[in-house]
Amino acid sequence: MSTLTLGKALNEGLRKAMENDPKVLVMGEDVGKLGGVFRITDGLQKDFGEERVIDTPLAESGIVGTAIGLALRGYRPVVEIQFDGFVFPAADQIITQLAKMRMRSLGKLSLPVVIRIPCGGGIGAVEHHSESPEAYFTHTAGLRVVACSNPVDAFAMIQQSIASPDPVIFFEPKRRYWEKAEVDTDSADWAPLHSAQVVRPGEHVTVLAYGPAVKTCLEAASAAAEEGRSLEVIDLRSLNPLDIETVTKSVNRTGRCVVVHEAPVFNGYGAELAARITEKCFYRLESPVLRVGGFSAPYPPSRNEDHYLPDLDRILDAADRTFAW
Amino acid sequence: MTIDSVRGAPDTPELDRPELIQLLTPEGERVEHPDYPLDLSAEDVRDLYRDLVIVRRIDLEAVALTRQGELGLWASLLGQEAAQIGSGRALNDHDMAFPTYREHGVAYCRNVEPLTLLGLFRGVSHGGWDPKEHGFHLYTVVIGSQTLHATGYAMGIQRDGVLGTPSAAATIAYFGDGATSQGDVNEAFVFASVSNAPIVFFCQNNQWAISEPLERQTRIPLYKRAQGFGFPGLRVDGNDVFACLAVTRKALENARTGQGPTLIEAFTYRMGAHTTTDDPTRYRLKAEEESWKLKDPIERVKAYLVRNDLADAGFFEKVEDVATQMAKELREGCRSMPDPEPLAMFENVYADEHPMMTEEQEQFAAYLASFEEPASGEEAK
């Protein structure tokens, strides 16, 4: 066991994947000598060389497009998009090419490409550095979309994603990069990549979250417990496919559900969750599924982000409101 | 050098003054070029002629099948046969081609069944051939995207350490004049250049991007763009199969021996419409098409064969017969091509299991089954 930050756990996971499979490549802007702007790839170029850890030209479509070509030649590229708001120049290559090429080939081609995207706000950044673009990608058939929330999952899920024969969009909660936990880096006894996990059992309300919001929800659950209300927090971990069984099992028991994410609520991932839960748990629900998230406004200047991001009070408020029906 | 001396006057574009590499004139006269010697036997030339005639016939048949409602659409290669056969025949087994949706001639060179191409335009699949088996990637419909895939693939060849060895390979990326305005094509030039990747960028400048003439895409000849990216660019007579073959061979050989990318601008003309839904009479003059007819890529090879007594009337007749037979088989094959099963749309989306999609598939299967007539025996019960 070692105490690792989430960022270091990703770094160790990448290192393991590169050691285990010589076809694994890391590519992106500044991932080589600098080790990435968040140092997630720190030291990898030194140990694996410039051919396997590629400092690319500054062009996101080019990075993903050439990663597709490398995958067609038998490599397993792990692409770093420097910030969430920079992924859009690559959206065409991801949505139009990466996601669809397997079907286009009637299964003759596999595209084992991982696209790592640091996501979410809360770090006082300038515009385009705090976004949550997951719904654009969960809406695209052919992609798998996952989001880690803690160091243990970060270490495991990055390796599982690299091993996947399908393209994976891998969201990293950038404001949690410095969170620490004990990680067993010698074990490969991991939960399946596309499983949700109950991270805090509870009785009264099911709270669904992923990525950076999970920790906020756990804090909200602690605060609620002091007031005698028991929240069950589920870390979804995988957004596409969704582990709906773990979710419905919980909601069928609690009868109440609050979904929390940083992305705008309108047409956000929570809308899909609310719809599915309504279909599958209709007769057990005591109240509508409520959503807490970003507003229908672009991500605000950082001095205002604490009001935009779901916080403990807004989560508790939503949990309270589920008892108003 | 000043801004004013560098900026060309707007009314004197260099577009019409091609510095063209040509080995066979429109009249069928062989021209030697010191940098591109080409030693072809009589049989080689006859083979090229046969290829040209066959792909033109496949194309004409596909246009006819579209008119008859058998295909939803077809992108004709009419006029571009030499650019495609010349470059396609320059490839070896290890090379990988990345086509647009118009490279039917290259597909033919890479042994992709013409009927499979028709299936794509008929709507029974999005492609479906095995790119690895043919050294020919799937058709790419969105303009220019494939140039990055070709570049990445070439970067993979570099990492395999095969350049300069007998298993050396190169990629060739096909695209048109319109595509040169796309960001992806320019990014591919950058990535290929800084990686010194083994790739040939093969631009068929057919003068038209649907309705937009070349002047809407560029103020300088396209091949000159390469210089700014740091690799050689040249213009070849795209209606000259000899020149396309010789120049592409050389560029591929350079790539396979680690000398990096080349841009080839094959100067040609789209004799037909952009696709079968297009109407060129709305935007271009018949006279322009007529002038390009005089530069036909097939007629000049025929003239060369006749002029040098390399083929007799029997040969030309036989080629026609082969093409006609092929067209007949294509027609029959197309008409009898079955529609895909409804549930086939769920296949091959993911390599690994995807429970959500499987659930949808099962629900849809049950829904479809609910319309089926019960067997008569069951009905009696």
For chain A, the distance separating the N- and C-terminal CA atoms, rounded to the nearest angstrom, is 47
Tell me if B184 and A56 make a contact (CB, 8 A cut-off): no
State what percent of residues in chain A have pLDDT above 70. Answer: 100
Cα–Cα dist A85/A121, whole Å:
11
Nearest to B156 among A73, A107, A144 (CB): A73
Residues of A tagged active-site: 129
- Does this model's pTM top 0.90? My answer is yes
Cα–Cα dist B223/B202, whole Å:
10
Q: Are A131 and A118 in contact (CB under 8 A)?
A: no
Band of pLDDT at residue B323, cut at 50, 70 and 90 = very high
State what percent of residues in chain A have pLDDT above 90. Answer: 99
Q: Are A207 and A234 in contact (CB under 8 A)?
A: yes
Cα–Cα dist A63/A57, whole Å:
8
Band of pLDDT at residue A80, cut at 50, 70 and 90 = very high
Which residue ranges make up each domain of chain A?
Answer: 2-183, 197-321
Report whether pLDDT(B381) > 50: no
If you average pLDDT over every residue of chain A, what do you get? 98
- The phi-psi region of residue A36 (left if phi > 0; otherwise alpha if psi is between -120 and 50; otherwise beta) is left
Answer whether A288 touches B (CB < 8 Å).
no
Q: Fold match between A2-183 and A197-321?
A: yes
Cα–Cα dist A40/A14, whole Å:
9
The mean pLDDT value for A265-271 works out to 98
pLDDT score of B376: 66
The mean pLDDT value for B42-57 works out to 98
Closest CA to A262 of A284, A302, A228, A291: A291
Superfamily (CATH) of domain A2-183: Thiamin diphosphate (ThDP)-binding fold, Pyr/PP domains (3.40.50.970)
Token pair in block for residue A206: 């099911």
If you average pLDDT over every residue of chain B, what do you get? 94
Closest CA to B81 of B105, B49, B99: B105
Residue pLDDT, tens place only, B143-193? 999 999 999 999 999 999 999 999 999 999 999 999 999 999 999 999 999
ipTM, 2 dp: 0.96
The SS3 call for residue B150 is helix
pLDDT score of A325: 87
CATH class label, A197-321: alpha beta
Tell me if B348 and A100 make a contact (CB, 8 A cut-off): no
Cα–Cα dist B95/B115, whole Å:
23
The SS3 call for residue A79 is strand
Band of pLDDT at residue B19, cut at 50, 70 and 90 = confident
Band of pLDDT at residue B372, cut at 50, 70 and 90 = confident
Residue pLDDT, tens place only, B64-99? 999 999 999 999 999 999 999 999 999 999 999 999
Answer whether A93 touches B (CB < 8 Å).
yes
B378 CA: distance to closest CA in chain A (Å)? 33
The mean pLDDT value for A296-302 works out to 97
Give which of B117, B153, B353 to mutate to test A binding, by max A Cβ within 10 Å. B153
Band of pLDDT at residue B12, cut at 50, 70 and 90 = very low
Tell me if B127 and A104 make a contact (CB, 8 A cut-off): yes
Residue pLDDT, tens place only, A162-177? 999 999 999 999 999 9
A143, burial (CB in 10 Å: exposed 0-12, middle 13-18, buried 19+)? buried
B225, B274, B300, B304: which one is catalytic? Answer: B274
The mean pLDDT value for B132-137 works out to 98
pLDDT score of A282: 98
pLDDT score of B373: 79
Report whether pLDDT(A252) > 60: yes
- Higher pLDDT: B95 or B3? It is B95
pLDDT score of B8: 53
State what percent of residues in chain B have pLDDT above 70. Answer: 93
